[in-house]
Structure 1
């Protein structure tokens, strides 16, 4: 049985979609595409900035110690909600590492993930993020 050209194209499209959606190669492709299409950050206008009123926000850091946002009251705080399985989150991490490297002494950085601690630690170590 000989396949028609359109059937071959359809099979190729199905295979590419399967690779994109169901394999680690697809995850890497999504991260790469997110890095390509992401916009450069722009400053938030002062009138659009918000002052946090309630600082009773409890977290656990990567060392397992308890952290309360009230410890950083009055500081400039950067909060990023992310996950190791999220392609846009993974795509922005290299730039956030550069931001941390540049402003880590002047800004409090809080990266909040709901992944298991081991998964986050392995991700951070593998990518050499601090």
Structure 2
């Protein structure tokens, strides 16, 4: 009886490893696993530990090649998300970012950033029915961001304090994030 259980465990293990090796099944499995991780809300940084964004000198362009100067974000509440269409954790958290964007697009600024080709970004947004605008960097982002892996998301208050700095998938439409944004909006008024 023990050998049958061991054989069954070994067979299941080999199937799972095989699914990760096959390119067509790897990404969907990774996205599914990351969706589990994306159920957790990102944490806010204690006020005494928050970095301050002092350099807003950063140029980007949108899908129509319109230039965008990040300096226009100074003094505003901004959510900056670095992501890619091929990144499973990015894909996993995108539905929550879309919901947050739809709820707060008239109250705070959203800057979604990807290094990918415009056609890839446009196809992804259309396929997933996402409504937010994506920018491509034209110049180096401010040093405060220090992006070494994606997804990487920052929530910045009106004074440039980084209130949330999250690497990896998260639930951006959570009660915690909404309460944090609402508190920033109240402090702004």
Q: Which band: TM-score by shorter chain?
A: 0.7 to 0.9
Partner of 1:20: 20
The structure whose RCO (Cα within 8 Å, separation 6+) is larger is 2
Contact 1:21 1:27 survives alignment (8 Å):
no
Tell me, in whole angstroms, the C-alpha distance in 2 between the residues paired with 1:41 and 1:65: 32
Secondary structure of 1:109's aligned partner:
strand
Matched, 1:50 2:51: yes
Deviation at 1:126, TM superposition (A): 0.2
The 1-side partners of 2:8 and 2:103 are apart by: 51
In 2, distance between residues paired with 1:107 and 1:24?
A: 38
Pick the structure with more helix per residue.
1
Between structure 1 and structure 2, the one with the greater Rg is 1
Mean Cα deviation higher: 95-104 or 14-23: 14-23
RMSD: 2.2
How much has 1:12 moved relative to structure 2? 6.4
* Structure 2 CA distance for aligned equivalents of residues 43 and 101 of structure 1: 21
Alpha-carbon offset, residue 61 of structure 1 = 1.2
Task: Name the CA distance, whole Å, in 2 between partners of 1:14 and 1:127.
Answer: 32
Shift of 1:37: 2.4
Structure 2-normalised TM-score?
Answer: 0.59
Q: Tell me the equivalent position of 1:122.
A: 123
Residue of structure 1 equivalent to 2:114: 113
Query: Which aligned pairs between 1:55-66 and structure 2 lie closer than 5 A?
Result: 55-66=56-67
Gaps spanning 5+ residues in structure 2: where?
132-189
C-alpha displacement of 1:71: 1.4
Indicate the SS of the match to 1:106.
coil
Q: Report the 3-state secondary structure (helix = DSSP H, G, I; strand = E; otherwise coil) of the residue aligned with 1:96.
A: helix
Aligned mates of 1:102, 1:21 — CA distance in 2: 39
* Partner SS, residue 59 of structure 1: strand
1:70 positional shift: 0.7
> Is 1:68 the counterpart of 2:30 in the alignment?
no
